Structure 1
Amino acid sequence: MNIYHHILEFKKLTNAIVTIGTFDGVHYGHQKIIKRLCELAKMSGGESVILTFFPHPRMIIDPENQGLKMINTIKEKAEILADLGVDHLIITPFTRDFSNLSAGDYIKNILVDTIGTKQLIVGYDHRFGKDRQGGMMELETYSKVYDFSIEEIPEQDINDVAVSSTKIRTALLAGDVSLAASYLGYHFSINGPVIKGDKIGRTIGFPTANIFVEETYKLIPSDGIYAVTIEMSSELTYKGMAYIGQRPTINGMTRNIEVNIFDFNQEIYGQTIKMNFLKFLRHDVKFTGLAALKEQLHQDKLNTLDFFNQSQQPT
């Protein structure tokens, strides 16, 4: 998949099959649109193009609301879209000037003159242009002027999936990573380099790798203990249990993301790892001391191993 970090980097195509959206999470509803996009591109001998935006339009249009967190980082989103078979991904900066483009200018300048759109696939009630004034009526009008076709994914088809990015964010903020995975079609993950911690885990027999998430807009699930898998750059996958929280037992002051990797004792400082969240095990609590914490961590590990053993049982 070719990736462009600005619309101006893109070279106009002769037969572009296009869809537009933020696609945060690239969940089942999004995947329905994207699979149709790739299908139409193959049928017509064209090339599939996704136009997405960064930062999220809501961050620019409503700058006072900085609480919006994204399910995927831009890199994570690109990897998922590449796996779905998309040919071109345009990640264009969403600015005030861009948001002020009229519906007509948006269609002519972006979709037609820059991308070369011949077919456009949109979800139901797709809105665009200044103040979201553009919709299907405008698309149908301009499609006749600029000779491109439109396909709208019906509301029923999307609602049949019964999923939205908002539902997924809500599930993750409640720690329900299993529900989130059922909406996404894959396990929610966190990626980041391993940084040095205070090594308290080692003193009680549970050494952890501390993960630094550079992207401040990335959503972090609810505090607690999770069963996870860990993917290394060496393409090896390990099982483990992750902790998110402020470590109240030792009066921690910052929110940490740590993982105890089972059957693993290598130094991996600086290495980027991917942590997939499979199941929420328990909430974060304050213990009377390190001895009580150690006892609970033993139980957490047993519960995590039991989860993995059950997951491997034939159904």
Structure 2
Amino acid sequence: MKVILDASGFAIPAAVVSIGMFDGVHRGHAKVLRQLRDHGERLGLPTALVTFDPHPRAVVRPEACPRLLSSVDDRMQLLAATGAVDHCLVLRFDQQRSHQDAGAFVRDTLLAQLGMRELIVGENFACGRGRVGTVAYLSSLGSTLGFSVSPVALDAVPGTQEAVRSSSTEARRLIQIGDLAGASSVLQRPHEMTGTITHTSGAPRSRIHAALASAMCAPAEADYVGAVRRNGSAAPWIPALLRVRDDRRSRRRMVQMQAVDEVDVSPGDELRIRFVDRARHGKAPSGQESMRA
């Protein structure tokens, strides 16, 4: 997957396109991405995905901006791993873009730069100023400008009694109430975060304290089983007990970790933290449970 961070001068002659934040690249996103790849292969065209940084609500309504499930770098890795995207265009979302209407966005970016022949989006998709660029609006525009729109129906998570949508909103809700197993069903993997080490203790260094970024979606205050490893490392995950607490003095969300083995980190380093499930009283994390993908 080719990632384009600077859109100036970038253009391809034709593509099948999808648009969205794709925060967490969850089960619902996977369905959209499968159709993106399938339709690209059927038409003999490359696939292109347009996403944004920062989250549009961080600009339009900062007070309502959600905590993110994945950083931009994580999002790129997750998208690349699907094998569905040939070109990923990361657009800077700022005040100027927030005032761009849906028609101008389609003409200036999706058609002029990506040569869009078909648009694949979730059935609840909307873009442009005031979110007027709904599937119905875009379909009508496409009949004039020469592209088609294929909406993808949103599915419930398998095993749920109600029609819970496979959405970033639902994944965040489950994480924030501490239902990490439920969140894994939406994400199709355990939830992971990066923490900055504040201090370590014990010999060997198996007791670790880390601060979590305030912009990221962190689990509720509770004890969890999971695993840790140095950020960016390909080393095996080390099972750990993860205690999430708010530090009232610093107003930061903290994680105290008791790993089953030494972790080669020092204060200031970044640690990758994988949350699997709530800890059951008296049960230590096992390698098999904590490393489940």
TM, length-normalised to structure 1: 0.79
Q: Which of 180, 183, 186 is residue 189 of structure 2 equivalent to?
A: 186
| Corresponding residue number in structure 2 for 1:169 | 172
- Name which of structure 1's ranges 137-146 and 180-189 shifts more when overlaid on structure 2: 137-146
Partner Cα distance (2:216, 2:179) in 1: 17
| Corresponding residue number in structure 2 for 1:52 | 51
- Any residues of structure 2 matched to 1:154-165 within 5 Å, and which? 154-155=153-154, 162-165=165-168
Q: Structure 2 counterpart of 1:264, which letter?
A: E
Residues 1:56 and 1:254: Cα distance change in structure 2 (over 3 Å):
closer
| Corresponding residue number in structure 2 for 1:16 | 15
Partner Cα distance (2:57, 2:252) in 1: 28
Contact 1:18 1:117 in 2 (8 A): yes
| Corresponding residue number in structure 2 for 1:131 | 130
Q: Which of 260, 263, 267 is residue 262 of structure 1 equivalent to?
A: 260
Instruction: Render the CA deviation track for 1:149-192: whole Å, top value 9, x for unaligned.
Output: 22111356899773222221111111111110011101100124
- Name which of structure 1's ranges 271-280 and 47-56 shifts more when overlaid on structure 2: 271-280
| Corresponding residue number in structure 2 for 1:295 | none
Residues 1:157 and 1:6: Cα distance change in structure 2 (over 3 Å):
farther
Deviation at 1:202, TM superposition (A): 2.4
| Corresponding residue number in structure 1 for 2:30 | 31
| Corresponding residue number in structure 2 for 1:280 | 278
Moved over 6 A (4+): 156-161, 309-312
Instruction: Render the CA deviation track for 1:24-49: whole Å, top value 9, x for unaligned.
Output: 22111111001111222223222211
Contact 1:28 1:161 in 2 (8 A): no
- Decide which structure has the larger Cα Rg and report it: 1
- Give the alignment's Cα RMSD to 1 decimal: 3.0
Deviation at 1:234, TM superposition (A): 4.0
TM, length-normalised to structure 2: 0.84
In the alignment, structure 1 residue 238 sits paired with structure 2 residue 250: no
Residues 1:226 and 1:47: Cα distance change in structure 2 (over 3 Å):
same
| Corresponding residue number in structure 1 for 2:75 | 77
Residues 1:211 and 1:45: Cα distance change in structure 2 (over 3 Å):
farther
- Name which of structure 1's ranges 33-42 and 157-166 shifts more when overlaid on structure 2: 157-166
Partner Cα distance (2:41, 2:268) in 1: 41
What SS does the corresponding residue of 1:166 show, helix, strand or coil? helix
Deviation at 1:246, TM superposition (A): 4.4
Contact 2:28 2:167 in 1 (8 A): yes
* 5+ long unaligned stretches in structure 2: none
Deviation at 1:310, TM superposition (A): 7.1
Deviation at 1:266, TM superposition (A): 4.2
Contact 1:18 1:120 in 2 (8 A): yes
Contact 1:231 1:275 in 2 (8 A): yes
What SS does the corresponding residue of 2:283 show, helix, strand or coil? helix
Higher strand share: 2
Q: Structure 2 counterpart of 1:278, which letter?
A: V
Deviation at 1:65, TM superposition (A): 3.3
Partner Cα distance (1:37, 1:161) in 2: 23
In the alignment, structure 1 residue 2 sits paired with structure 2 residue 5: no
